[in-house]
Amino acid sequence: MTRYRVLFVCMGNICRSPTAHGVFQHQVDARGWGHWLLVDSAGTHNYHPDSPPDERSQAHARRRGYDLTALRARQVQDADFETFDLILAMDHDNLAELQARCPSRHQSKLRRLTEFCQTHTADVVPDPYYGGSGGFERVLDLVEDACAGLVLHVQEQSKGTRP
């Protein structure tokens, strides 16, 4: 079976990318797409290997019905550029890091998550790590919006290939 694979990437893989992972996985599961669509997240840096998402990310996500408890931080691996169909960075710095590491034949897979926003006009998903609860809520607002647009994109990209 052909699978479509989406990877969300931030710096440490404990705030933004696991939030996007959890939100998108929730949308994938709600549509019954889990058998053909694989969702994962990673960080450009290996700051928190095997750590769960930041407690604040988990708490804010939980309030909106998303469970991030099973997710664990990992660093982007060279094989990810081959494996994933779409690799979505949370900001320009992490996109640049990915572009520097990615083989030229896979550069087209790299994009920013906010490119899929339907109602928000943010250029990036800002890092909430050093801020207050408002930052984590802003991340969720942007991620939910972008993931809604991403669902439409994946649906269009996978026509004729998904079961």
CATH topology of domain 4-157: Rossmann fold (3.40.50)
Q: Provide the pLDDT for residue 163.
A: 64
Q: Provide the pLDDT for residue 157.
A: 84
Query: 130: which 2 tokens?
Result: 């050093």
Dihedral angle sign, alpha carbons of residues 95, 96, 101, 106: positive
Beta strands in 1-157 (DSSP E): 4-10, 37-43, 86-89, 110-112
Residue 10's φ and ψ, nearest 5 degrees, are -130, -160
Q: Which of 59, 98, 68, 64 is nearest to 81 (CA)?
A: 98
Gap between the Cα atoms of 112 and 120, Å rounded: 14
For the chain, which residues score pLDDT lower than 50? none
Dihedral angle sign, alpha carbons of residues 119, 27, 151, 106: positive
Contact (Cβ atoms closer than 8 angstroms) between residue 158 and residue 4: yes
Write down the domain spans for the chain: 4-157
Q: Is 15 designated active site? A: no
Residue 150's φ and ψ, nearest 5 degrees, are -65, -40
Which candidate in 16, 80, 91, 147 is catalytic? 16
What are 122-133's pLDDT values in tens digits?
Answer: 999 999 999 999
Which candidate in 117, 127, 145, 147 is catalytic? 127
Q: Is 63 designated active site? A: no
N- to C-terminal Cα distance for the chain?
Answer: 8
Q: Is 10 designated active site? A: yes
Q: CA 116 from chain center: how many Å?
A: 12
Q: Provide the pLDDT for residue 3.
A: 87
pTM reported for the whole predicted model: 0.97
